[in-house]
Amino acid sequence: MTTVRCVRCSQEGASLTSNPFRSSEALRALGEQLQRSVCKPCYDAWLQTSVKLVNDSKLDLRDERSKDVWLTQMRAFLNLDGGRDPWRRFVDKRVRVETTSKIVTTATVLRVDDEKIWLSDFEGGAIARGFAPTQKGADGASGSATILRDFVLTIEEVRT
Ligand SMILES: [Zn+2]
């Protein structure tokens, strides 16, 4: 039996005995990543959650958009990207942010800490309402601003 130090539960556990995506050329590398980094109990927990997700959200996994949603949820559930903080995967990415006061904007993430997120290059060139401007030149970028993570309703990467 092969064991892994699991990125989701931080325990040493049995790894997946076979690549769950072995039949898909596009996803085979992801399957190998799963075998290297996630324990079987956690993967099984994901499969259970996944069934519920597919039913509740009416995902059709033959559809690319649904498949993206499913894979994003899987990465988040299994903590494949973030180490300890899943928000760190947004650093240097273009994101669409919706705040709790229903402001929607697109900007680039500079950095993330436990409390706040730093953004720059807001769409339209102006810092969106509800964001606190940082000093010009801070973080090496003009027009950057922070927002408390608690005020972020949704954040998602924008594919450019
Ligand atoms: Zn685990």
The Å distance, Cα 88 to ligand 1 centre, comes to 20
The Å distance, Cα 10 to ligand 1 centre, comes to 6
Mean pLDDT of the chain: 88
Question: At 100, which CATH number?
Answer: 2.30.30.100
Residue that terminates a domain, selected from 80, 115, 133: 80
- State pTM to two decimals: 0.54
Return the pLDDT at 35. 96
CB-CB neighbours of 69 under 10 Å: 16
Mean pLDDT of 66-91: 83
The Å distance, Cα 9 to ligand 1 centre, comes to 4
Residue that terminates a domain, selected from 65, 80, 95: 80
How many domains is the chain built from?
2
Say whether both 8 and 66 belong to one domain.
Answer: yes
Residue with tokens 């949820």: 73
Residue that terminates a domain, selected from 29, 47, 80: 80
Q: How confident is residue 140, by pLDDT bands cut at 50, 70 and 90?
A: very low
CA atoms within 13 A on the CB side of 132: 8
Range of the domain at 125: 87-157
- Torsion, Cα 148 149 154 160, to 10 degrees, reads 80
